[in-house]
Amino acid sequence: MTETTWGRVALAGLFFAVVGCAPAPDPAAPSEPDPEAFVAEVNAELAALGKQSGAAAWVRSTYITEDTGVLAARASEDYLKFHSESVARAKAYEGQQLDARTRRDLMLLKLGTSKPAPNDAAKRKRLAEISVRMPGVYGAGKYCNDRGECAGLDVLEPIMAESRDYDELLEAWTGWRTISPQMRADYEQFVELANEGARELGFGDLGEMWRSGYDMSADQFRAEAKALWDQVSPLYEQLHCYVRDRLADTYGEDKVPRDGPIPAHLLGNMWAQQWGEIYDVVEPYPGVADLDVDAALQEQNYTAESMTRNAESFFTSLGLPQLPDTFWARSMLRKPADREVICHASAWQVLDPNDVRIKMCIEPIQEHLTTIYHELGHIYYYLAYQDKPPLYQSGAHDGFHEAIGDAITLSMTPTYLQSIGLVDSLEDSDKATINTQMKMALDKIAFLPFGKLIDEWRWDVFAGEIPPDRYNAGWWALRTQYQGIAPPVKRSEANFDPGAKYHIPGNVPYTRYFLSFILQFQFQQALCDAAGFDGPLHECSVFGSKQAGEPFWAMLQAGASEPWPDTLEKLTGTREMDGSAIIEYFAPLIAWLEERTQDQTCGW
């Protein structure tokens, strides 16, 4: 998955009740300004720090050197210092009678980092250095085999996607996981330091702090996430059952038992998070509705720039503005040949609110085209709320930010792709519908448990329920519990398999992606209603509908200025996240899977 990065700092917190009680004020302590003036001061400081941290982080990601590591670490340290000192100052207002907006502002400040530092200069410096070093190790990571050949993700990921050789896949899978054990000691120290910082802010641990950013208590949010998973897990289990059966046919029951977990390296993706690359193995009706968008992109000589302009045209068709000229001048759209970069796709807001960019190593394939649409969802969110104070320059909650672009990708229907010349002809039949839905489910449905478990692991790590000597065992227990997959070879605590996924060393909270895969279908349902679409949800494209664009833009403009249920209501008319739209969307496939798997032993 992708991440968002912006110089205004990732302000994910939206729960605005003041946590804890303040001690009696010290009459000798210097007085703070009134709360409103303090918030204005914080916003001004955030704007200035945003330029520094945004530029340093951008250069670090697009020029991985020792020098840029030093610059990024210093910028991170400066922000962590500002954050810990500002939160300490904000304690002066605890216990006072404050209006709801000021209480919200102070809580947003408290939750204004995913890695709170202890209020100690040496520890803060150490946390900043670790936080820069781990993703740097990931970005520069390479597996070198015993033949002297070395390969990074740019080589290993295509093998995972394209090979159907069990042993070749196994080597690529295990090879990439040789880069992460060196992060293990750093990660253990990171957990210790960030937990200390979270406790200083009044939270039990970093996981509790992350879960407090959703306009409800940490425990209430955990129950909310579980309820959403319970809604959609039966659909995942049916998909898993069908895919496992086809993989057993392909590789043999000795390698893929029909009643157990699936070996993690056979699902077309380095992390088994999305399974679209094995569509050829599990295609329900071979050759039906075969939409070869990759071939069309390559035959029509699409470039990184023209693919990005293609995505921009969808957003402008809804009445949204064109991207600023600086976007085209400053984005990194292809991998440079002369240096190490982090190719992991991300969207950025850097030197000022209008300085928006994406960082991506674009190739002319459908997967990358879809990713660009996703990234521009972040970009248009930035542009929509750019006039808000820095504390409000974020999504209604972090799942919103990830869902915006993905909701737009749901409108990349076969009919839409035909309208822009990437598909020649369409086949209208029940078989074509099932094939199209299967291809999408391999990404959208297969991802749901992965999106849920990443932070389940971290929450347990932060809480001490998974101690350092069980990091890897705890990781695989959750992957089997939620995804029904298992490592293809024996793993031990000498390994650190969580570190082979960018968001762990990068410290990017991941529940946002799980929530986004729920919300994007809610958003699409509402957009289609606004567009006046009358038909099955999976056939709807809102391309060209300014009627849909108007409430969409209104939701984006709110940023983090109000509780997320208020913002959700602007577009959907509802105040609750709900998985029913995803079930409606995949109704044809659900019925087909239930019939197809009725005689199989499902579960693991």
The residues near 97 (Cβ < 8 Å, ≥ 6 apart) are: none
Active site members: 375, 503
Contacts 24+ apart (CB under 8 A), 533-536: 536/587, 536/588
Residues linked to residue 347 through DSSP beta bridges, in sequence order: 4, 358
Count of Cβ atoms closer than 10 Å to residue 489 Cβ: 12
Structure tokens given for 228: 């959403």
Residues linked to residue 6 through DSSP beta bridges, in sequence order: 349
DSSP per-residue letters across 238-273: HHHHHHHHHHHHHH-TTTS-TTSPEEGGGSSSTTSS
Residues linked to residue 263 through DSSP beta bridges, in sequence order: 486
Size of the chain in residues:
604
Helix, coil or strand: residue 463: coil
Contact 267, 399 (CB under 8 A): no
Helix, strand, coil percentages, rounded to 5, for the chain: 60, 5, 35
Alpha-helical segments (H) within 272-426: 279-282, 293-299, 304-317, 325-330, 366-384, 398-409, 414-419
Q: Which DSSP letter does residue 93 get? A: G
Contact 441, 183 (CB under 8 A): no
Torsions phi, psi for 560 (to 5 deg): -105, 25
Report which residue type is found at 561.
S
Helix, coil or strand: residue 221: helix
